[in-house]
């Protein structure tokens, strides 16, 4: 590995840039330097370490690579440190992250705020909220100026991790901290209050937003409209649609999808469909999400044929149907016990160039199991594993039990083996069934089942 890196480094040193010359006119100046011609910025050369570390998956290997480059005389700077820190944070190697940050500070490497925002978010994903808060406080010590971007990142982390009281406190002290809340800040706080079910508090933040001359965005209105649609406030939601239009904010496809969902939830499918066609007259072209709302409502009410018609209508209107759209119909077909039809739809989507995702396969495995077609479920499982997706533990267990009941011991053992590769285990009842089916019914009376399963 080291020899390869040394050879790579030497080759990069000897690879010299060259210029295209206009020799036919005797002009030996590089083309990009010719007067009167538009100057194009030179493409930045890739940094060898940054390129190499992106190919590494193991955090220890990334650290070793970092040291190897250093030993070869390569001077690590901000791009190197940031690439390494991103890699370590994604791997949740936070002890190593802190060690590298100490080195960055000791070497006085000037860092960009984007690095710290990314680290704050990675800490939050790992539920290390205190570390995220502490890192936000430490940003100035790295000779980096905190802006509203990092402030909003922290605010969002607190809201999303059920630390709303702290978020509200920091938001209230924002001016003392040197920050002037912007539209994003207000949107985060509105979202937080709405998640707590506090409509009046959210409205107060909205009013403060207007007072402070922070312009509400479509995101602001979508949050408020969504809450009203979920809480029997459909008329008020429609009023907000008019209000945002008057204020010059153009509703987007999601705005209409939220309202359509609200109409469907109160049994007004016809009105929801009409709204989807009306939105075009208001200057907003329907998107897949709007068709998805209608298909979901039809599927929920068992109107599968109408949902299929809607899918065909999308094709006629030249909408490229995505995996989410197909999954809606596949899911409801399976719930109706029509797994065979769902599987045909899965094949159709693949022929059309739309690849199934993990959800598609999981729905199909469960759908076949629900109707007792364990051969079909096993076929889908094989395709799923080939695509590097993995079923839920419940799906695995249901398939194993079904195969055993059908007397397909070899297939059941194959599924158990695949579970083992993924560190998934049957529960006690599942193992009892395996033992009984593998050893025969005579084992039950002798109490050997309890003895065997107790050893698992």
420 and 433 within one domain: no
Mean pLDDT of the chain: 85
Is 137 a member of any domain? no
Number of Cβ within 10 Å of residue 313's Cβ equals: 12
410 and 324 within one domain: yes
411 and 327 within one domain: yes
Is 384 a member of any domain? yes
Is 26 a member of any domain? no
Tokens 């158990």 found at:
416
433 and 389 within one domain: no
List, for residues 5-64, the tens digit of each pLDDT value. Answer: 333 333 333 333 333 333 333 444 443 444 444 544 555 567 778 888 888 888 888 888
Is 217 a member of any domain? no
455 and 413 within one domain: no
449 and 395 within one domain: no
Residue from 414, 427, 420, 345 nearest 375 by CA: 414
The pLDDT of residue 131 is: 96
Is 396 a member of any domain? yes
Residues 6+ apart with CB under 8 A from 134: none
414 and 339 within one domain: yes
Considering the chain, what percentage of its residues have pLDDT values greater than 70?
84
407 and 331 within one domain: yes
Is 349 a member of any domain? yes
399 and 441 within one domain: no
Residues 6+ apart with CB under 8 A from 186: 205, 206, 208, 209, 214, 216, 220
Q: DSSP assignment of 209-264, as one string?
A: HHHTTPPP-HHHHHHHHHHHHHTT-HHHHHHHHHHHHHTTPPP-HHHHHHHHHHHH
* pLDDT-based confidence at residue 270 (cuts at 50, 70, 90): very high
The pLDDT of residue 380 is: 95
Separation of alpha carbons 365 and 97, rounded Å: 40
Q: Are 337 and 363 in contact (CB under 8 A)?
A: no
325 and 379 within one domain: yes
Q: DSSP assignment of 1-50, as one string?
A: -HHHHHHHHHHHHH-------BGGGTB-S-GGG-TTSPPPPPPPPPPHHH
Please state the rounded mean pLDDT for residues 356-380: 95
Is 198 a member of any domain? no
Q: Under DSSP, is residue 182 helix (H, G, I), strand (E, B) or coil?
A: coil
Tokens 């249901």 found at:
398
Range(s) of the domain holding residue 450? 429-456
Is 419 a member of any domain? yes
CA separation, residue 266 to residues 207, 222, 233, 288 (Å): 29, 19, 11, 22
Least confident of 28-42, 186-200, 280-294, 399-413: 28-42
pTM of the model as a whole = 0.77
How many distinct structural domains can be found in the chain? 2
452 and 382 within one domain: no
Q: What is the CATH number of the domain that holds 412?
A: 1.25.40.10
The pLDDT of residue 4 is: 34
């Amino acid at each position: 590995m080291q020899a390869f890196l040394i050879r790579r480094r030497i080759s990069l040193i000897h690879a010299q840039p060259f210029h295209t010359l206009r020799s036919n006119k005797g002009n030996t100046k590089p083309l990009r330097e010719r007067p009167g011609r538009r100057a194009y910025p030179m493409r930045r050369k890739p940094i060898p370490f940054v390129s190499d570390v992106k190919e590494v998956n193991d955090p220890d290997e990334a650290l070793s690579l970092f040291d190897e480059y250093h030993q070869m005389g390569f001077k690590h700077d901000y791009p190197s440190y940031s690439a390494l820190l991103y890699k370590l944070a994604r791997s949740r190697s936070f002890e190593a992250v802190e060690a590298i940050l100490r080195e960055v500070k000791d070497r006085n490497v000037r860092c960009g705020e984007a690095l710290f925002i990314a680290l704050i978010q990675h800490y939050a994903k790992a539920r290390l909220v205190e570390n995220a808060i502490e890192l936000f406080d430490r940003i100035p010590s790295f000779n980096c100026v905190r802006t509203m971007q990092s402030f909003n990142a922290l605010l969002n982390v607190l809201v999303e991790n059920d630390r709303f009281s702290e978020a509200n406190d920091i938001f209230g002290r924002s001016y003392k901290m040197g920050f002037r809340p912007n539209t994003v800040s207000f949107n985060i706080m509105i979202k937080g209050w709405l998640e707590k079910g506090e409509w009046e508090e959210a409205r107060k933040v909205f009013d403060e937003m207007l007072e402070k001359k922070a312009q509400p965005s479509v995101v602001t209105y979508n949050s408020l409209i969504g809450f009203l649609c979920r809480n029997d406030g459909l008329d008020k939601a429609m009023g907000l649609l008019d209000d945002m239009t008057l204020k010059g904010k153009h509703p987007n496809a999601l705005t209409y999808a939220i309202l359509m969902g609200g109409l469907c939830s109160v049994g007004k499918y016809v009105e929801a469909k009409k709204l989807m066609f009306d939105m075009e007259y208001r200057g907003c072209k329907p998107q897949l999400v709007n068709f998805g709302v209608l298909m979901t409502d039809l599927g929920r009410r068992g109107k599968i044929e109408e949902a299929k018609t809607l899918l065909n209508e999308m094709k006629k209107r030249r909408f490229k149907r995505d995996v989410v759209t197909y999954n809606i119909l596949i899911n409801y077909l399976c719930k109706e016990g029509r797994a065979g039809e769902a599987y045909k739809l899965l094949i159709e989507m693949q022929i059309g160039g739309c690849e199934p995702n993990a959800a598609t396969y999981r729905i199909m495995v469960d759908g076949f199991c629900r109707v007792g077609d364990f051969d079909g479920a096993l076929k889908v499982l094989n395709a799923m594993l080939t695509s590097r997706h993995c079923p839920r533990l419940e799906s695995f267990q249901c398939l194993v039990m079904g195969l055993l009941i059908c007397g397909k011991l070899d297939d059941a053992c194959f599924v158990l083996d695949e579970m083992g590769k993924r560190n998934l285990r049957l529960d006690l009842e599942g193992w009892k069934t395996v033992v009984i089916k593998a050893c025969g019914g005579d084992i039950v009376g002798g109490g050997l089942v309890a003895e065997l399963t107790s050893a698992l």
